[in-house]
Structure 1
Amino acid sequence: MTFSSRDRLHDPRGRRVLITGASGTIGRSLGERLTRAGARVVGLDLRPSGDEPFPVIECDITDPDSVTSGVAEALAELGGLDILVNNAGIGGPAPAEHAPGDEVRRQLEINLLGTWRVTAACVDALVAARGRVVMVTSRMAVMQLPLAAAYGASKRAMVAYADALRLELGTHVTVSCVYPSAVRSPIHDSTKAAGLSLEGMSVYEPLDGVVGAIMRTALAVRPRRDVTTTRKGAVEFFLARHLPALTDRIVARTLATRARAGAFDGASLAAGVVERHRKRP
């Protein structure tokens, strides 16, 4: 759901916030806004740039030891934890018809298991503070797009993990999922390089709106379980949840149009899709 003026927010001043993927497009912008609002923010990132306007600790969320030490350092600096924002994530080309390889494992390792590791390391601090977990998922967690099966699967699994976490910690910790569509960032570079750009199948949305939705979710007095970031996203979320067959037909029709128009010509990973659509009567 999108937000209305009736949503009340906690005062961000003094709130202790940990953000993963804090040096990336969304994480950095979110951390900057929260810091300006008076929150105490620490980030985790594989490659901190060093010029973020808040402390960022180098941490590889695919490495259990790195997560243990990185989270411990962050919690020590913050003196506890009120809000964890699981923002770190990657995308990449991974058609469902091909056997899973390194690219698939990489996306699952970061998007799902990395989120799981960081959250588990923060549970005690979150329970003690009666805190909040915000999962930055994706519209593709509910409405899969073709040629990017690993990303959609990892984000849908991330939501399933959030659901389990909510049931287990719900007496003390709130858990919300935010579902942005595509935001222009380097996360799409590898897909574009493989000739599988989803331009025309996915509409980019403004970074500011996505960051605003995450921030409001983190600070809401009565946080919503599921949060979309645009009106269009809210419609897509509803259709995907309640009319999945209709959603499938819409996406399939768009894919067919693009495949027949040559959008994926020369992309070896999409050769099967192109051939099958051109052979259809």
Structure 2
Amino acid sequence: MTFPFSARLLDPRGRRVLITGASGTIGRALGERLTRAGAHVVGLDLRPTGDEPFTVLACDVTDDDSVASGTAAALALLGGLDVLVNNAGTGGPAPAEYAPGAEVRRQLEINLLGTWRVTAACVEALVAARGRVVMVASRMAVMQLPLAAAYGASKRAMVAYADALRLELGTHVAVSCVYPSAVRSPIHDSTKAAGLSLEGMSVYEPLEGVVDALAGAALAVRPRRDVPTTRKGAVEFFLARHLPGFTDRIVARTLAARAAAGAFDGAALAAGVVARNGGRP
């Protein structure tokens, strides 16, 4: 097993880990990996499947009472907390040119405010253990893609929250942000159904590599502030941070080519993008 971009690792045996979105593609794989390594893992999920290889409690991260009761139960089972992994998240079609509606609010509520709620509920336990927080951010937190403004905005805001948390708790708690690209999972289904699939603009990466990076962030002796999940991702992260105009031009050219080739034909939410980029009506 390899952990890219990490150096020496802590012994995972007995480490107390809480993972949100634990029944989904990434959360389940990470929980299984850490459980096999000897960590004590508890998960939170809106809809636990019941067949996860570790304990997962039902919890709605958009609901204050559910978060309060869910985290309290998880911390009681764990007997404290060494690592919180904020993995719960969602995506969906949300072009920037349209006024924000229910879809935008849903993504912000889960990706940003859900992360905030759970973290706040765990602060006392994390400080007591001198633990760490791992945020499952996204490449789109630094390099926005078109037609998915809500997702990028929510993940960029998550990173801003992580930065504030690091400044406030950094004497006792480490905070790392991990930046996957795209992993094949149901999170993309609603975007695809709306005809706004970003296939061709975003390259899928192996789930195993994302889990490696997350496990490394959770166990690194010297946790890193920002953790890309691939070497290509590290280059994209650098370019987006230091040469944003350059990355904008690359994304814009790719969008124009896909629109002209008919990738968004028939997608009502992409009609403006298609028209402005010379695509077929």
- Residue number in structure 2 paired with 1:168: 168
User: Aligned partners of 1:179, 1:276: CA distance in 2, in Å?
Assistant: 31
- Residue number in structure 1 paired with 2:70: 70
Question: C-alpha displacement at 1:3, in angstroms?
Answer: 3.5
SS in 1 for 2:134: strand
User: Aligned partners of 1:137, 1:88: CA distance in 2, in Å?
Assistant: 10
- Residue number in structure 1 paired with 2:273: 273
* Residue 155 (structure 1) aligned with residue 179 (structure 2): no
User: Aligned partners of 2:237, 2:214: CA distance in 1, in Å?
Assistant: 17
Q: Deviations over 1:206-259 (max 9, x none)?
A: 000000100000000000000000011001000000000000000000000000
Aligned length: 278
- Residue number in structure 2 paired with 1:111: 111
CA-atom RMSD in angstroms: 1.1
SS in 2 for 1:278: coil
* Residue 226 (structure 1) aligned with residue 226 (structure 2): yes
Alignment gaps of 5+ in structure 2: none
User: Aligned partners of 1:18, 1:200: CA distance in 2, in Å?
Assistant: 34
SS in 1 for 2:278: helix
Which residue identity does 1:53 align to in structure 2? Answer: P
Which residue identity does 1:145 align to in structure 2? Answer: L
- Residue number in structure 1 paired with 2:4: 3
User: Aligned partners of 1:249, 1:188: CA distance in 2, in Å?
Assistant: 25
Which residue identity does 1:144 align to in structure 2? Answer: Q
Written as runs of structure 1 = structure 2, the 5 A alignment for 1:184-263 is: 184-263=184-263
* Residue 131 (structure 1) aligned with residue 155 (structure 2): no
Question: C-alpha displacement at 1:278, in angstroms?
Answer: 1.1
Which residue identity does 1:247 align to in structure 2? Answer: T
Alignment gaps of 5+ in structure 1: none
| TM-score (normalised: structure 2) | 0.98
| TM-score (normalised: structure 1) | 0.98
Question: C-alpha displacement at 1:60, in angstroms?
Answer: 0.2
Question: C-alpha displacement at 1:149, in angstroms?
Answer: 0.1
User: Aligned partners of 1:277, 1:26: CA distance in 2, in Å?
Assistant: 35
- Residue number in structure 1 paired with 2:32: 32
User: Aligned partners of 1:251, 1:172: CA distance in 2, in Å?
Assistant: 39
State percent identity of aligned pairs: 85
Which residue identity does 1:61 align to in structure 2? Answer: V
Q: Deviations over 1:153-173 (max 9, x none)?
A: 000000000000000000000
Question: C-alpha displacement at 1:28, in angstroms?
Answer: 0.2
Which residue identity does 1:3 align to in structure 2? Answer: P
Q: Deviations over 1:50-108 (max 9, x none)?
A: 00000000000000000000000000000000000000000000000000000000000
- Residue number in structure 2 paired with 1:12: 12
SS in 1 for 2:253: helix
Q: Deviations over 1:171-218 (max 9, x none)?
A: 000000000000000000000000000000000000000001000000
User: Aligned partners of 1:89, 1:121: CA distance in 2, in Å?
Assistant: 18
